[in-house]
Structure 1
Amino acid sequence: MSGYAVFLRGVNVGGITIKMAELKQALASRPFSGVKTLLASGNVVLSSGLDPAGVKKEFEACLRETFGYDAWVVVLAAGRVAELVAACPYPPDDATTHTYLTLASDPAVLTALFEAGCALDGTELTLLGPEAMAWLAPVGGTLDSPFSKISSKPKYKAATTTRNLRTMIKVRDAAALL
Structure 2
Amino acid sequence: MTHRIILFRGMNTGGVRAPVAEQRAMAEEMGLKNPRTLAASGNLVVESGKATAALEADIEAAMERRFGLKIAAMVRTPEQWAKVIAANPFPAEATAQPSKVVAMVMKDGVKDGALDSCRALAEGGERVEAIDDVLWFWFPNGQGESAIFKKATPRMLGMGTGRNWNTVLKLAALAGVETTS
Same fold (TM over 0.5): yes
Give the aligned CA root-mean-square deviation in angstroms: 2.2
> Is 1:128 matched up with 2:154?
no
Offset of residue 26 of structure 1: 1.2
Superposed, which structure 2 residues align to 1:136-147 within 5 Å? 136-139=138-141, 141-147=142-148
**Structure-to-structure mapping, 1:1-178, within 5 angstroms:** 1-90=1-90, 91-94=93-96, 98-109=100-111, 111-121=112-122, 122-129=125-132, 131-139=133-141, 141-151=142-152, 153-155=153-155, 159-176=159-176
TM-superposition CA deviations, 1:13-64 (whole Å, max 9, x none): 1111121111101111114212111121111111212111011001101110
TM-score normalized by the length of structure 1: 0.86
Structure 2 counterpart SS, 1:162: strand
Task: Give the direction of change, closer, same or farther, for the CA distance of 1:97–1:14 in structure 2 (3 Å limit).
Answer: closer
Query: What 5-or-longer segments of structure 2 have no aligned partner?
Result: none
Q: In structure 2, how many angstroms separate the alpha carbons of the residues matched to 1:13 and 1:113?
A: 23
Is the Cα contact below 8 Å between 2:99 and 2:164 reproduced in 1? Answer: no
SS in 2 for 1:107: coil
Secondary structure (helix, strand or coil) at the match of 1:74 reads strand
What is the TM-score with the length of structure 2 in the denominator?
A: 0.85
